[in-house]
Structure 1
C-alpha cells in the first residue's frame, strides 16, 4: 500500500501539537502564529480527507463518546480528573486482518499520526456521540486491541508464570507499563480572572490542533495542566510525581468491518466502560514488557450509528472543509460483524466477551 502524500504534511503539523498545547504564550504575536498554524492544519486535513477516496483509501465515520456532554468537570478534584484522563486516553483499535501494522484507531485522545493508522482527522458532535472521520486503507479490520492511561495507579504484584494452556483459555491479556504523571496542588489561592481563554491558545479544538468540535473539556484539562506549570514556576503550587499505568488490552476479535477503496462508510462505535476489563485474580506475570495479566471477561458498549443522526451533527462545511463535505455526500451505513452476542435482549448494546472454557 503506497503512502498517502498529504499525510506527510499533516504529520509534520501534528508534531507541533503537544508543544502548541503546552506552550506559555509570552510573545505578543503568539495568538496570530497559533491561528496561522491552525489554519494550515485545516487546509491539509481537508485535502487529506477530501482526496482520500481518489487516492485508494476509504473514509470511515465512527462514533465514540462525546466527553463534552453534560456539565463542566471540576478538574481540581483528583478522582474527576483521573476518570477524564482515562476516558480521553482510551483508543479502540481495529487491526487489519492481513497487513501487519495497519489499523483503525478511534477515540478522543491525542493520536500519534502514522501512515498505516492516520487516526481521527475530523470530528463533530451530536448529543452524547462524537463522530470521527478516519481515512482508512482498504481491507478487513478486526476490533481486538484497546489502549488507555490509568492515572494514580500502581502496578500489580506479580506471580509465577501460569501454564500456557490456562492463558489460552482466557479472552485475552493486559500488558501494563509504569508511567509517571505530574500533579499540582495550589499553595496560594488564585482568584479566577474570567479570562482563562485569552491566553492565545484559542478555544476548544484549536487548543489541541484538531479540526471539528467536541474538544471543550479536553481544552479545559490542557489549560489546567498549563496553569499548574505556571503556578509552580511562580511558587504558587506544589508539584509531585504520581504513579500511573499504560494499559494495552489484546483479545480475541469482538467485531469486524470490511472497507473497499473509494467508499465512504458509517459504522457503529464501541467504548470501554471504566470498570472494564475484569482481570483474572492473581494472574499477573512479570515479563520483559512489564506485568502481563489475563482477563476473565471484557465488556464493551456499542454505540449504534445512523445516517439520520450523523446528518444532524454540524457538517464538514460548517468547519470550512469543503472537500470533505463533498466526499461525505454519498455516505452509507454498514453494520459491523459481531463475534459475540449482546449480553441480553434487555441490553442489546452491551457486548460481553468471556473466556473460552
Structure 2
C-alpha cells in the first residue's frame, strides 16, 4: 500500500491490472445487445441519408415488384412446402444498365443491399401479395436480361460430349448442380434406457482396541443401475439429400426495359421467374465443369407483377419507420410503363400473367 492506494504498483496504476474485476456474463450480454442496437441505428440513419445524398447528386430511385414470400403459408415439417419456399425465396429478376453493365438490380426476396451490396434493395415493403423493393440507381436505360433461382428435386440433362452447338440468339442458361436437404419425420420405438454408476465406499479395516481409533482403511465398490428414460415411441428425424439445380439465365436481348432520368423516382412493374422458367433442348447443352452445364435458350418465361401508384401508396410509408428522407425522396414518385419484348401466354400462376420471350 502506498498513500492509501492498495493494489496499485506503477504498472498496475497504468493498467489497473488486478484491481478491476472482469465484467459479469450478464453485463457482457447487455453490452453486446447495446452494441447491436447502436449498429442498427447507425445503419438506419445511413440508409436514410443515402437517399437524400443520392437525389442531390443526380442519381435516381426505382421501385419495383416481386412476389411477397410472406403472403403464403408454409409447413416446414412438410418437404413439399420446403421446396416451394426455396423456389420462392431465391427467385430473382436481373435488370442491367445498358450503358454501364456493372450497374445491376437484383430483384427478389433474398436480395437486400445489406446482404449483397449496392445491387440489392435498400428498403422493402409489402401490399397484399406484392413485395415492393426500392433501389438507388444510376440514371439510364435498364433491360431485364435474366433470372436466377434454386430448384430442388431437379436434375440436369446428360448431353453427349464433344458436340458442336450453335449459339442461341436468345441467350443461355447455366445450370449448377447442388444438393438440397429434406427431412424424413416419423417415430421409432426406444427401449428403456439405463445407466450404471460405480459407487466407491471407504470402510475401517482395523481398529485400535484401547482407543477405538481406526488405524487402517479399505475401499469397496459396487454398481448401482438406474433408469434414465422410459421406453416408448419417440420422434425420429433423418436428413436426406436430394438433387437441386441453381439456374442462371442470361439474355442477349431484353425481356423488358425502362428508362429513368437523373433525380427521378419511378415505380415499374416487376417480373418473377416462376421455376422452371427456362426452355431448352438437351442437345443444346454442354458440360463446362464437373458440376455445371451451359444450355442454349429457346425461351424464357417470367410472371409479370403489375403495380401502380395507388397500390404502392397502400403499403406502409417509409416515414412510419423513421425513414423521413427516403419518404421525401419518394414524394414525387411516378409510374413508368415498361417496354415489353416478351409476349403474354395462357398459363396458370397465382402471381400474375406469364410472358415469354422466344429465340
Note whether the superposition's TM-score is higher than 0.5. yes
CA pair 270-69 structure 1, distance change in 2 beyond 3 A: same
CA offset digits 1:176-213 (Å, max 9, x no partner): 12234455556889xxxxxxxxxxxxxxxxxxxxxxxx
Say which SS state the counterpart of residue 248 (structure 1) adopts: strand
Map of 2:178 onto structure 1: 179
* Distance in 2 (alpha carbons) for counterparts of 1:59 and 1:49: 8
CA pair 35-181 structure 1, distance change in 2 beyond 3 A: farther
Map of 1:323 onto structure 2: 325
Of 108, 116, 131, the residue aligned with 1:113 is 116
Which structure: greater strand fraction? 2
Alpha-carbon distance, 1:127 to partner: 0.9
Q: 5 Å matches for 1:224-239?
A: 238-239=238-239
Q: 5 Å matches for 1:173-252?
A: 173-183=172-182, 238-239=238-239, 241-251=241-251, 252=253
Say which SS state the counterpart of residue 263 (structure 2) adopts: coil
* Distance in 1 (alpha carbons) for counterparts of 2:70 and 2:259: 30
* Distance in 2 (alpha carbons) for counterparts of 1:36 and 1:305: 36
Map of 1:87 onto structure 2: 88
CA offset digits 1:39-80 (Å, max 9, x no partner): 33222221223322112311000011111114x210111121
Of 336, 344, 347, the residue aligned with 1:334 is 336
CA pair 330-110 structure 1, distance change in 2 beyond 3 A: closer
Higher relative contact order (CA 8 A, sep 6+): 1
* Distance in 1 (alpha carbons) for counterparts of 2:87 and 2:342: 25
Q: Which runs of 5+ in 2 are unaligned?
A: 1-27, 189-234
Rg larger in 1 or in 2? 2
Alpha-carbon distance, 1:270 to partner: 0.8
CA offset digits 1:15-48 (Å, max 9, x no partner): xxxxxxxxxxxx8446555444333322222122
Size of the aligned set, in residue pairs, is 278
Alpha-carbon distance, 1:292 to partner: 0.9
* Distance in 2 (alpha carbons) for counterparts of 1:33 and 1:181: 35
TM-score of the superposed pair, with normalisation by structure 1: 0.69
Map of 1:277 onto structure 2: 278
Which structure: greater helix fraction? 1
CA pair 159-36 structure 1, distance change in 2 beyond 3 A: farther
CA pair 186-107 structure 1, distance change in 2 beyond 3 A: same
Map of 2:302 onto structure 1: 300
Say which SS state the counterpart of residue 71 (structure 2) adopts: coil
Alpha-carbon distance, 1:95 to partner: 1.2
TM-score of the superposed pair, with normalisation by structure 2: 0.69
Q: Which runs of 5+ in 1 are unaligned?
A: 1-26, 190-234
RMSD: 2.9
